[in-house]
């Protein structure tokens, strides 16, 4: 598990002074059908909405200097179709026909992320379930780099504010 902890925080975790927590973020999204206003958009061949789920795998540590603050970092994620069988079939067809293409600027950013964070990006769709995975083998992090302040927390709801001022509201997914 320590390989998922940024170097600046490993000693803190190794000596047991803190509790390493998961910080996975699950986001539902929809790829909408194309619009005549954008004839060259990547979704130009989407005929009906396709629902997907993106899970970002992350971790957090309490900040020893600021109460209610957690330092966070991300180690990868997964993009996949919704469980609806028609979404799975449409998703696989769409991403098999149209693998991700990147502009020169996007390629430069991907190269930087590969060099800095050891990012691996998907090159194809998993033929079994249609998923695409990405990994950061050298996650960036440390107290004060990326963090959330917990504003409210109970058994089913968490409200946090990120270091850039964005407020997020999370609800716990029921077990089972």
pLDDT tens figures, 106-134: 889 989 989 988 898 887 888 888 899 99
- Higher pLDDT: 129 or 34? It is 129
pLDDT of 18: 84
pLDDT of 163: 92
State pTM to two decimals.
0.79
pLDDT in tens, 65-97: 899 999 999 999 999 998 888 888 888 888 877
Neighbouring C-beta atoms of residue 86, cutoff 10 Å: 12
Q: What DSSP line would sit under 13-52, residue for residue?
A: HHTTSS--EE--EEEEEEEPPP-TT-TTSTTTT--S-EEE
């Amino acid at each position: 598990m320590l390989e998922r902890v940024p170097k600046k925080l490993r000693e803190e975790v190794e000596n047991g002074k803190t509790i390493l927590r998961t910080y996975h973020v699950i986001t539902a999204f929809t790829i909408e059908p194309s619009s005549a206003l954008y004839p060259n958009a990547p979704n130009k061949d989407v005929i009906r909405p396709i629902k997907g789920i993106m899970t970002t795998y992350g971790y957090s540590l309490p900040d020893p200097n600021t109460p209610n603050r957690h330092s966070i970092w991300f180690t990868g994620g997964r993009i996949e179709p919704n469980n609806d069988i028609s979404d799975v079939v449409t998703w696989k067809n769409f991403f098999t026909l149209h693998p991700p293409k990147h502009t020169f600027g996007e390629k430069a950013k991907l190269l930087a992320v590969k060099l800095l964070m050891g990012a691996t990006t998907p090159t194809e769709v998993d033929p079994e379930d249609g998923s695409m995975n990405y990994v950061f083998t050298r996650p960036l992090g440390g107290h004060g780099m990326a963090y959330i302040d917990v504003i409210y927390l109970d058994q089913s709801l968490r409200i946090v504010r990120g270091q850039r001022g964005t407020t997020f509201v999370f609800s716990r997914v029921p077990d089972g």
